[in-house]
Amino acid sequence: MDVTRREIGTVTAGALAASAISRLVATAAAASTVRFSFQRSSTLLTLLKEDRALVAAFAAKGFGVGWAQFDDVIGEMNAAVCDFHADCADAVPIFTQSARAPLTFYAREVHNPQAEAIIVSKGSAIRTVADLKGRLVGVHRGSGCHFILAAALTRAGLTFADIHPAYLTPSDAAAAFERGSIDAWAIWDPFLAIAESKMPTRTLCDATGLSRYDRYYTVTNGFAEAHPDLVEIVFDALVAKGAWVRANPDEAARRLSPIWGNIPEAVVRTVNRRRSYDVQAIDARALGDQQAIADTFFEAKLIPRAIDATAIRIWHPRGDRT
């Protein structure tokens, strides 16, 4: 099952949750509302949303703040539905860049290779990635795990043509994995840690040696050009919140547990232990992994054209602007 150009570049009504659209309509009613998207793995943005850390700073600039949660972030990023977009794994920008989405990169969270993995149930006969040949493997289209699966298959001497990929959202894949409807699952935290806590699993491989698994933060081009001061506020808030999570792991787990559906705090601590939460400005010279992902996806016909992964718009913090 291949990802088509239409699937990558087209936003359909089904790609955007109805509840999220309703919230966007409401928050966009005032032109001065800055719209943020986030996903379940957007730990830092979620905490900023919950503690309303941006509200006062934005109000001082004459702006309100609105939030919308998405499972499939590629569609909303391509369509620039929001001003600030959910942080996303390294593979997602390859799809949005291929679709010529109007995005500026303003931050990245570095080096989280243990936060995504290919897993099977503990009792499975599958012992290695090579054993996935002919098997049904769940993966979220366009995610960082999409690349990890492709790269792991390549390393094992296989291609996507050798397996049966099942393109599922994390929620659907979780249910399928628990039922045994899929043979393996390529997934990231917190879904990975939740699955590991619910049933015995075996990790075939994580991203170590395949990708550093950086996470990227983007903002719409027009907004970045018009309001670099607001981008600065968000960047500084993310840096500070990342430092807070690292310094306060127990309190962070207590806060995130109810937000993530009352999953045990021990599971949240596992998630946070596998994330760096080290938010930095973006240096185009450090995008070598991105080019490797782009080349892999083009060769696998997962994107319609070859791209230069470093040819992106980058916002720089004050004092570091070129």
Domains 5-112+212-314 and 114-206 share a fold: yes
24 CB burial (10 A radius; 0-12, 13-18, 19+): buried
Instruction: Find out whether 257 and 268 touch, Cβ atoms under 8 Å.
Output: yes
Residues 189-213 have a mean pLDDT of 94
Q: Which residue has the higher pLDDT, 189 or 320?
A: 189
Tokens of 19: 């509840």
Query: What fold does the segment set 114-206 form as a domain?
Result: D-Maltodextrin-Binding Protein; domain 2 (3.40.190)
Q: Is the peptide bond before 190 cis (omega within 30 degrees of 0)?
A: yes
In this prediction, residue 211 carries a pLDDT of 86
Domain ranges of the chain: 5-112+212-314, 114-206
Residues 36-42 have a mean pLDDT of 92
Alpha carbon 230 to chain centroid, angstroms: 22
In this prediction, residue 31 carries a pLDDT of 53
Instruction: Find out whether 205 and 116 touch, Cβ atoms under 8 Å.
Output: no
In this prediction, residue 246 carries a pLDDT of 96
Instruction: Find out whether 145 and 302 touch, Cβ atoms under 8 Å.
Output: no
- Name residue 187's beta-bridge partners: 117
Judge whether residue 137 has pLDDT over 50: yes
pTM as predicted: 0.81
Residues 302-322 have a mean pLDDT of 86
In this prediction, residue 288 carries a pLDDT of 76
Q: How confident is the model at residue 254 (pLDDT cuts 50, 70, 90)?
A: very high
Judge whether residue 250 has pLDDT over 70: yes
DSSP H helices in 137-220: 144-155, 170-179, 191-198
Residues 5-112+212-314, CATH architecture:
3-Layer(aba) Sandwich (3.40)
